[in-house]
Amino acid sequence: MPDSPTTVFHRASEHLLSHDMRAFTALYAEDAVMEFPFAPPGAPRRLEGRETIEAYLAGYTDKLNVLSVHDVTVHQTTVPEVIIAELAVSGRRVPTDAPYTARYVAVLTISGGLIQHYRDYWNPLDLGSDAEAAL
């Protein structure tokens, strides 16, 4: 039996903390979609397919050293495959070692234990020039 959407979300957070982006992206379906409605100019608003998502996130930990995923609240919806996650991610910017905290609200559709759709509402101003690296 596939893992619940909440379990998949928490597993993704664990992979992010361990800087295992290959395991993180393995949680996405082959035809998954990742969207960033508030993406800054020049950054993608929509990624289609696991390979595209994996390529986009390949250098993520070279830019941001994630040290903590906190203030997590996962909301169940009336659609069993859809959850809404509120969270904060803190760490250090790799080039400068400056601290950062970014807050997110993500709407995830998870079916068969895989992320089908991930829509991420975050404020790119929280990370300044590192905004493109933020998840």
Is a pLDDT exceeding 90 seen at residue 123? no
Question: For residue 18, what is the DSSP state?
Answer: T
DSSP 6: H
Whether the CA torsion 118, 56, 112, 88 is positive or negative: it is negative
pLDDT tens-digit series, residues 34-73: 999 998 888 899 999 999 999 999 988 899 999 999 999 9
- Asked if 24 and 83 touch (Cβ cutoff 8 Å), the reply is no
Tell me the pLDDT tens digit for each residue of 12-21. Answer: 999 999 999 9
Options 3.40.309.10, 3.40.50.880, 3.40.50.150, 3.10.450.50; CATH of 5-126: 3.10.450.50
Q: What is the mean pLDDT of residues 82-99?
A: 95
Question: Residue 5 and residue 40: Cα distance in Å, rounded?
Answer: 28
Whether 134 has a pLDDT exceeding 60, the answer reads no
Pairing of strands 28-35, 114-122: parallel
